[in-house]
Amino acid sequence: MSEYAANPLYWILALQALLLLGLIAVIFRQSRLLRHLEEERQWNANGFDRVQELQRSQEKLITGELTQAAADHNKELELLQRRLLVQVARLYQSLERRFGEMQKHIADDSGNLRVNLAERVDRMNQSLEKNLGEARIAQQESMARGLEGIGRQMIAGLESNAKAVGARLENLADSTEQRLRDISSQVEKRLNEGFDRTNETFSRVLEHLTRIDEAQRRITELSNNVVSLQEVLSDKRSRGAFGEVQLNSLVRNIMPESSFSLQHTLSNGNRADCVLFLPAPTGNIVVDSKFPLENYRRMTDTESVEVERERAAGRFRMDIRRHITAIADKYIIAAETADGAMMFIPAESVFAEIHAHHPELVEEAWRRHVWLASPTTMMAILTTARAALKDAATREQIDLIQKHLNYLARDFGRFQQRMERLSQHIRQANRDVEEAQLSARRISARFDRIEKVELDGLPLSHESQSEEV
């Protein structure tokens, strides 16, 4: 072991091994730092600023680590140098002790041996100094080359790491820009869809508002019409005119012009709203419009007290009786009108109230031959009257129809005779056509036999013989 310790090459190899271990440790730390950098970059892939900050911190950390590693290597080299110097000093001391012992052992020898030994010692000292200088120079050169190689490797590693980090940062920037473009396009698409839906909603809202305005306008017109109708119905003469207008409209729409007369004056001087000219046995029916509305409203007003409503109901019955009596006395004239007259009530509610809750009024009207009619029942009565007029017109023309039917019967007899003669001619023509077809077939057969040269053996037919005769 002392021989290895005394050999300078052993220390050089040990120093190189230590440098190699230090280089391996630096590379391992660098790989750990790179792996840590990669993990940090992946974890912070969505933050470009954080990556830059991490890059700066990692560069500082790598620079610090490299500086610390260089300092550690320098400390180790200094320690190795100090150990080498200690070993060399120990080697000198050992050599000096050996030289002293040798001098003591050879002191008794001859001077020549002492001289030779001194020369050898000088040569050994020179050789040792030379070897030590060469070893020190080689050691320094090896350390310089190792440090230079380590520096180049570190610089190359840093450059490759910087390139990799730059490429990854570029990829990250590209992917971030692409994602931003995708997000921007999606946001723009959604904004456009939202704008379209908003515009469609606004269009529908405007359409609904237009409809609401139209409905509001119609409601306003209807309310104005209702107010006008209320003003008309509040006046007695206006109510009478309203009933007459409604009656005139019904009659004009259903009956022919010659079958009625409006504002017709009778022989007793009374003027009726309408007279229907119907055929016998019905005769002329007078129709007069009555609209007992005031007492009906008071009778049906739920806000009034019960006593007021009962009084209004009594007055309403009195109004109806008075109208029935007036129509029966004025508009039923013997030999001029029918035995009954009609009272036209232009309100279905009033007509329904009379028939539903006042049967005594209906019975009294029946006894006085006054027929109550509402707009609905009046329409049915007028339709029936029109059918009766049509039937009467048909009966009046029955003689003319009978005469034309007799003419039609004679014409049909002549037509039948002529058709019979025509059918006989058609049957005769059919027989002639059949006989002509038979002759044509026989002539064709004879021509066929002529073509086949069989004329000699062919007997003459009875028809051909008759034709020759």
247 and 289 Cβ atoms separated by less than 8 Å: yes
Q: Look at residue 468 and tell me whether its pLDDT is greater than 50.
A: no
Q: What is the mean pLDDT of residues 42-56?
A: 54
Residue-wise pLDDT tens digits, 428-453: 888 888 888 888 888 888 877 877 75
Percent of the chain at pLDDT exceeding 70: 52
Give residue 120's pLDDT band: very low, low, confident or very high (50, 70, 90): low
Q: What is the mean pLDDT of residues 375-382?
A: 90
Confidence of residue 2 (pLDDT cuts 50, 70, 90): very low
Half-sphere exposure of 265 (CA within 13 A, CB side): 1
DSSP-assigned letter for residue 258 = G
Spatial neighbors of 232 by CB under 8 A, at least 6 apart, are: 238, 239, 241, 242
Q: How far is residue 385's CA from residue 131's CA, in Å, rounded to a whole number?
A: 156
- How high is the pLDDT of residue 7? 55
| pLDDT > 50? residue 469 | no
pLDDT at 464: 46
Average pLDDT taken over every residue of the chain: 72
**Of the segments 159-168, 376-385, 446-455, which one has the largest average pLDDT value?**
376-385
pLDDT at 465: 46
- The whole-number pLDDT of residue 350 equals 86
Task: Give the start-to-end residue ranges of the domains of the chain.
Answer: 2-193, 240-396, 402-464
Strand partners, 276: 260, 285
CB within 8 A of 85, min separation 6: which ones? none
R_g (Cα) of the chain, nearest Å: 71
448 against 122, higher pLDDT: 448
Residue 171 has pLDDT above 70, yes or no: yes
Question: 455: pLDDT confidence band, cut at 50, 70 and 90?
Answer: very low
Q: Is 107 helix (H, G, I), strand (E, B) or coil?
A: coil
CA–CA distance, 370 with 60 (Å, rounded to integer): 121
Q: Which of 127-131, 235-239, 273-277, 313-317 has the lowest mean pLDDT?
A: 235-239
284-289 and 260-265 strand pairing: unpaired
- Predicted structure pTM score: 0.39
Question: How confident is the model over 178-230, as pLDDT tens digits?
Answer: 776 777 677 677 767 776 777 777 677 778 777 877 777 777 666 555 444 45
DSSP state of 249: H
Model confidence pLDDT, tens digit, residues 350-370:
888 888 888 898 999 999 999
Least confident of 156-165, 324-333, 394-403: 156-165
pLDDT of amino acid 146? 62
Q: Per-residue pLDDT for 396 more than 80?
A: no
Rounded-to-integer distance, Cα 345 and Cα 347, Å: 6
Q: Are 246 and 375 in contact (CB under 8 A)?
A: yes
Q: What angle do CA 258, 263, 264 make, to 5 degrees?
A: 65
Contact predicate 362/354, CB 8 Å: yes
CB 65, CB 29: distance < 8 Å: yes
Between 199 and 322, the more confident residue is 322
Count other C-beta atoms under 10 Å from residue 156's C-beta. Answer: 10
* Cα 238 from Cα 461, distance rounded (Å): 108
Give the pLDDT confidence score for residue 405 in this predicted structure.
80
3-class state of residue 434 by DSSP: helix
Is 88's pLDDT higher than 80?
A: no
Helices (H), 235-358: 236-254, 294-300, 306-331, 348-357
Q: Which CATH class is domain 240-396?
A: alpha beta
Of 153-157, 253-257, 289-293, give the range with the top mean pLDDT. Answer: 253-257
State the average pLDDT over residues 279-283.
82
**Do residues 388 and 279 lie in contact, with contact meaning Cβ atoms separated by under 8 Å?**
yes
- The vertex-368 CA angle with 365 and 369, nearest 5°, equals 85
CA pair distance 378, 287, nearest whole angstrom: 10
Instruction: State the first-to-last Cα distance of the chain, in angstroms, to the nearest integer.
Output: 172
Q: Smallest Cα–Cα separation from 134: which of 1, 254, 35, 8? A: 8
pLDDT for position 142: 65
E strands, 345-441, in order:
370-373
Quickly state the pLDDT bin for 341 (edges 50, 70, 90): very high
Give, in degrees to the nearest 5, the angle at Cα 180 between 177 and 183.
155
